[in-house]
Amino acid sequence: MNLIQSFPYAAGFALFSWALGLVVFPRKRPLGIALLSLGTVALGGLLATIWLTLERPPLRTLGETRLWYAFMLPIAASVVCLRWKMVWPLYYAIPLAGVFLGINLAHPESWDRTLMPALRSVLFVPHVLAYLLAYAFLSAAFAASVRGWRSPVGSDRCEQALEFADRSVQIGFAFLTLGLCIGAIWAKEAWGHYWAWDPKETWALLTWLGYLAYLHFRLQHPLQAKGAFLFLSAAWIVLLLCWFGLNHMPIADQSVHTYTR
């Protein structure tokens, strides 16, 4: 069975396992954790299979990055949940991961083996994975902002959401910075300059500045929870425009960084 035939089964199994895990989790936590973990492991196994079959990193197209994102988002939420003893983020992260996986099911990949010369660098995988990890943690922060926005200011629910958002942004921003730096080194290696104000580079910088501004806002205004949640929503929109939106903008043709659809 080839990838085109097997992908829907593997992705469907991951979605089913996640959905069942979320339903079971409140009453039988160990079983819920096992089911959620099983879905994530299945998706990780699928990624490994794709990598071995294509004989290249599955990070070339938007669809392939969505698959990695769906894999990393539950992991990012779990890391923060375990560290700060919160359960609710899983109920935001898993459905969001499911949405991205569902998009891939609705728009199947062709699984092309080709990889353009510029992407055959040792920096390709760490650069893209750093960004996808950043996107996973920053999306978890956005999910926290949605929960916090619906909660009364000063309530335990609001404070927990704010703490979770702050921790997620701190981790995500570190990966975002790492991805930006690796990208600059890679650009120097490939094109002879660290920065060229390519549209993708510009939007990546805007995303980085947006989350840097959020961190400064939290330092200067630690009590303005609603302002922080609004800030996170705006920053996440910029992130999505950088990741997906640029491909549909007129300036996309001027960029050498846009993903293959």
Residue 174 pLDDT grade (very low, low, confident, very high; cuts 50, 70, 90):
very high
Average pLDDT value over all residues in the chain: 89
158 close to 200: Cβ distance less than 8 angstroms: no
**pLDDT value of position 145:** 93
* 11 alpha-carbon distance from chain centroid: 17
For 55, left (φ over 0), alpha (ψ -120 to 50), or beta? left
The two three-digit tokens of residue 155, written as one number? 């309530």
Q: Is the pLDDT of residue 248 over 70?
A: yes
Mean pLDDT in residue range 95-107: 91
**Identity of residue 56:** R
Q: Please compute the mean of the pLDDT values over residues 14-38 and round it to a whole number.
A: 92
Report the pLDDT averaged over residues 216-222: 95
pLDDT digits (tens, 9 = 90+) for 112-171: 888 888 788 899 999 999 999 999 999 999 999 999 998 998 899 999 999 999 999 999
Read off the pTM: 0.90
What's the rounded mean pLDDT across residues 49-72?
Answer: 91
CA distance 132 to 244: 13
* Torsion angles phi and psi, residue 61, rounded to 5: -110, 165
Residue 232 CB burial class (10 angstroms; 0-12, 13-18, ≥19): buried
Residue 15 structure tokens: 């979605």
Cβ contacts of residue 101 below 8 Å, gap of 6+?
Answer: 11, 14, 15, 43, 66, 67, 70
The CATH architecture to which 116-254 belongs is Up-down Bundle (1.20)
- The arithmetic mean of pLDDT across residues 181-197, rounded, is 88
Cβ atoms of 92 and 161 closer than 8 Å? no
Please give the average per-residue pLDDT across 74-91, as a whole number. Answer: 83
- The half-sphere exposure of 102 on its side-chain side, counting CA atoms within 13 A, is 10
Give whole-number Cα distances, 217 to 171, 175, 227, in Å: 17, 20, 9
- Kindly report which listed range (18-27, 100-109, 110-119, 170-179) carries the lowest average pLDDT score: 110-119
Dihedral over Cα of 85, 80, 47, 108: its sign? positive
Q: Name the residue among 256, 258, 232, 234 with its Cα closest to residue 245.
A: 258
Give 22's pLDDT tier (boundaries 50, 70, 90). Answer: very high
Contact yes or no for 87/146 (Cβ under 8 A): no
pLDDT confidence of 238, banded at 50, 70, 90? very high
Show the DSSP H helices in the chain as ranges.
3-24, 29-54, 62-84, 90-106, 124-149, 156-191, 199-220, 225-243
- How far apart are alpha carbons 243 and 110 in whole angstroms? 21
In the block, tokens 């969505």 appear at: 66
